[in-house]
A and B are shown apart, each in its own frame.
Chain A
Amino acid sequence: MGVTAWTTLLIGASFLLYIGIAIRSRASSTGEFYIAGQHVPPLANGMATAADWMSAASFISMAGIISFSGYDGSVYLMGWTGGYVLLALLLAPYLRKFGKYTVPDFIGERYYSQVARVVAVICAIFISFTYVAGQMRGVGVVFSRFLEVDVTWGVIIGMGIVFIYAVLGGMKGITYTQVAQYCVLIFAFMVPAIFISLLVADTMIPHIGFGSIPAGSELSLLARLDGLHEQLGFSTYTLGSGNTINLLAITFALMAGTAGLPHVIIRFYTVPRVRDARKSAGWALLFIAILYTTAPAVAVFARTNLIDTVYKDDSFQPHEQMPGWFQTWEGTGLIRFEDKNGDGLVQYVGAAAVDDQGQSIANELTIDRDIMVLANPEIAGLPNWVIALVAAGGLAAALSTAAGLLLVVSTSVSHDLLRKWLKPDLSEKQELLAARIAAGAAVCVAGYLGINPPGFVAEVVAFAFGLAAASFFPAILMGIFMKRMNREGAIAGMVVGLVFTASYIIFFRFIDPELDKPENWWWGISPKGIGTVGMLFNFMVAGIVRSFTSDPPDEVMQMVEEIRVPERSSA
């Protein structure tokens, strides 16, 4: 069977599975629609959280980013996993004890303020939509590359699937589809990784393969890659670019941002008890770590394979001798070769490359880093069904994240805006209907954004973390750990954190991108890491404002006491 037949078969089968699950798990109350009736076992919630969290970016882009940036890519690995430690120790158990439906719910009640609730709703909707646009785009791209379907139709098919299980089943439907999607995506990621590890490093375990010394060679894989990088004028793969403070700031902003993302937090409301919230955080990170620790190995294998293709026996290879996959991806424009000196050789070099006479060499090859995971099976010459599997895995990753985000939008509208603010007399039935309509509308908006992506989506997604780190994370943290933190302090802190972080990012990315260089950054911190500084400002301002305003009401302090201890039986 050809690649297209296999892809159609695997994607079709996985979609049938998702729809089947959706039909079995329809939601009949708001409790089921918002938090799956709090009946989800911790292990299942761990898988669902892992699928919810790992998006098209984790599945498709991350290994590629690491492959091209080496050590510097570690910030994503540590940032996107380290955040779960913060979540598990500092947020999840207490929010589960609080037990209401959304993050704005917690902010609104803890800070006894509708203003705080509405600010939180707006942040949650903004973060979710910027994120979801990228997911729908990912769905469209996978369809168009593997099945030669137009991107628009790809997005529409993806929307249809999400519509069925998100609108029918709410959180209940989403949870069990996400469990299935986790299984699909992790299988799809690991199978090619194991195959390639066997080919390159003679071991089934990529984590060991990536640090091994291949048989018949004196150099380890990494030492050889470092050597190739040096010859070709790239920076050393295993060493950082040297700006330590910036790396620290970016890593921390990604960690705190991860812990503050509403679609991840809301998953911890769905388990039965506080102790289950702790365990399910453990399962979630374990399931995420399987992919996140394999990705750096895939990155090294892919990078080595790529360089070996264009640069053999210390010389660049002629373009006409490039393998089939090279030409296929050139056809999509994701690999571009421009023969600047007209010698027919593919010169792939870094900025520091010089020839024997000390003249600098021009780079002639541009590679889109997103293709590293998608093209890896072809590069390694793996069978067609493995290539098809990667397509199904990419779709599972994108759809599961999109569904989780759409649910946040839907609950924010029906619960936080309508029920808790604009129309408090809404009946349970009406609220459920409103939630379904909001979910349906959100799917359509997401689809529109996927078909017509605003140019700045990629930029904004990266900064959603900075904004979450500077607003939600400190507000929730202080709400739990500082009993006396009051409304005035929390709102002032959130506003300062948000405004500072957003202004810094908007200035360097949109108003004056020319100035976006290390020498102009404050404290040497790039816009990606500035959320860490925004968070510190949030804490400082909140503390100062609190010190000269009045304590929160007694019932709020009582509530804080109560979320700190686990639930007890009515006995």
Chain B
Amino acid sequence: MTTPDRPPARDYWRKNLILIAILLSIWAFVSFGLGIYWAEDLHGIKAPLPGTPLGFWFAQQGSIFTFVILIWVYAWRMNRLDDEYFSDEGE
């Protein structure tokens, strides 16, 4: 890497870290939060299906669906960021 590239690389890295922080907060919120920590408080709420307590649903279904979405959002955002900052990248 040559010296003139440094500032954009640093900027790219900062944006990457912010995106990771946001996505990992959601990751922790659905699994550790809704799925475990608040699972008992959410037990009385039957959602999103008529028979599933909400916390139980997040622990066994919802968190996994969310994880899939998080990875795709990251891939999509970062691949776009790559194009923005390193557009001379070989396709």
In the assembled complex, the Cα of A84 lies from the Cα of B53 at a distance in Å of: 26
B86 adjacent to A78 (CB under 8 Å): no
Q: Give Cα A428–Cα B35 distance, bound, in whole angstroms.
A: 50
On chain B, the residues within 8 Å of A180 by CB distance are none
Taking the complex as formed, is B51 at the interface, i.e. its CB lies under 8 A from any CB of chain A?
Answer: yes
Given contacts A71-B39, A82-B31, contact A207 B71 (CB under 8 A): no
Q: In the assembled complex, which residues on chain B have CB atoms less than 8 Å from the CB atom of A78? A: 31, 35-36, 59, 63-64
Query: Which residues from chain A contact B63 at a C-beta distance below 8 Å?
Result: 77-78, 81-82
B32 touches A278 (CB 8 A): no
Min CB distance, B52 to chain A, in Å?
Answer: 4
Contact of A74 among B1, B35, B37, B67 (CB under 8 A): B35
**Which residues of the other chain, A, contact B61 by a CB distance below 8 angstroms?**
207, 293, 296
A220 within 8 A of B: yes
A43 to B31, CA, bound (A): 26
**Cross-interface CB contact of B90 among A84, A564, A569, cutoff 8 Å:** A569
Instruction: Report whether A281 and B82 are in contact in the complex, using a CB–CB cutoff of 8 Å.
Output: no
> Are B90 and A85 in contact, with the CB atoms below 8 A?
no
**A93 CB-CB contact with B under 8 Å:** yes
A-chain residues with CB within 8 Å of residue B65 when the two chains form the complex: 289, 293
Q: Report Cα–Cα, A539/B74, bound state, in Å.
A: 25
Encode contact with B along A230-248: 1 for CB under 8 Å, 0 otherwise.
0000000011100010011
Question: Would B59 and A71 count as touching, CB distance under 8 A?
Answer: yes
Taking a contact as CB atoms under 8 Å apart, the answer to whether B36 and A282 are in contact is no
A387 at the interface (CB under 8 A from B): no
How many angstroms from the CA of A213 to the CA of B52 in the assembled complex?
Answer: 10
Q: Mark B49-81, 1 if CB is under 8 A from A, else 0.
A: 111110011011101110110111011001100
Q: Looking at the assembled complex, report how far the CB atom of A94 sits from the nearest CB atom of chain B, in whole angstroms.
A: 10
Chain A residue numbers with a CB within 8 Å of B67 are: 81-82, 84-85, 285, 289
Tell me if A1 is interfacial: C-beta within 8 Å of chain B.
Answer: no
**CB atoms of A93 and B60 under 8 A apart:** no
Minimum C-beta distance from B49 to chain A (A): 3
Q: How far is the CB of A131 from chain B (nearest CB, A)?
A: 23
Residues of B within 8 A of A289 (CB): 64-65, 67-68
B49 and A248 contacting across the interface, CB-CB below 8 Å: no
Contact B75 A279 (CB under 8 A): yes
Min distance, Cβ B15 to any Cβ of chain A, angstroms = 12
Assembly CA distance A282 to B46 (angstroms): 30
A89-B20, A279-B75, A564-B9 known; A221-B64 Cβ under 8 A: no
- Chain A residues with CB under 8 Å of B39's CB are 71, 239-240
Cα-based distance from A77 to B39 in the complex (angstroms): 15
Are A282 and B59 neighbours in the complex by a CB distance under 8 Å?
Answer: no
Question: Which residues of B have CB within 8 Å of A567?
Answer: 89-90
A296 and B50 contacting across the interface, CB-CB below 8 Å? no
Q: Which residues of B contact A12 (CB under 8 A)?
A: none
Q: Out of A74, A223, A292, name the residue touching B51 (CB < 8 Å).
A: A223
- Closest Cβ–Cβ distance, residue B34 to chain A (whole Å): 11
**A275 at interface by CB-CB < 8 Å:** yes
Q: Mark A369-389, 1 if CB is under 8 A from B, else 0.
A: 000000000000000000000
In the assembled complex, A518 has its CB within 8 A of some CB on chain B: no
Which residues of A (41-74) have their CB < 8 Å from a CB of B? Answer: 66, 71, 74
Q: Which of B30-50 contact A (CB under 8 A)?
A: 31-32, 35-37, 39-40, 43, 46, 48-50
B68–A278 CB distance below 8 A: no
Chain B residues, Cβ within 8 Å of A564: 9, 13, 16
How many angstroms from the CA of A297 to the CA of B40 in the assembled complex? Answer: 20
Closest CB of chain B to A549's CB: distance in Å?
A: 25
Of the residues A85, A247, A248, A569, contact of B27 by C-beta under 8 Å: A85
List CB contacts (< 8 Å) of A518-571 with chain B: 558, 561-562, 564-571
Contact A568 B35 (CB under 8 A): no
Closest to B52 in A: A211
Within residues 2 to 40 of chain B, which ones have a CB less than 8 A from any CB in chain A? 9, 12-13, 16, 20, 23-24, 27, 31-32, 35-37, 39-40
The 7 closest A-B pairs by CB, nearest first: A220-B51, A211-B49, A569-B90, A74-B59, A278-B75, A211-B52, A296-B60
Residues of B that sit less than 8 Å from A by CB: 1, 9, 12-13, 16, 20, 23-24, 27, 31-32, 35-37, 39-40, 43, 46, 48-53, 56-57, 59-61, 63-65, 67-68, 70-72, 74-75, 78-79, 82, 85-86, 88-90
Using a CB–CB distance below 8 Å, which chain A residues touch chain B?
A: 66, 71, 74, 77-78, 81-82, 84-85, 88-90, 93, 207-208, 210-213, 220-223, 238-240, 244, 247-248, 251-252, 274-275, 278-279, 281-282, 285-286, 289, 292-293, 296, 558, 561-562, 564-571
Given A71-B56, A222-B52, A248-B37, 18 new contacts (CB under 8 A)? A74-B35, A74-B36, A77-B63, A81-B63, A82-B27, A89-B71, A208-B49, A220-B49, A220-B52, A238-B53, A251-B31, A278-B78, A293-B61, A293-B64, A296-B60, A562-B1, A565-B13, A565-B85
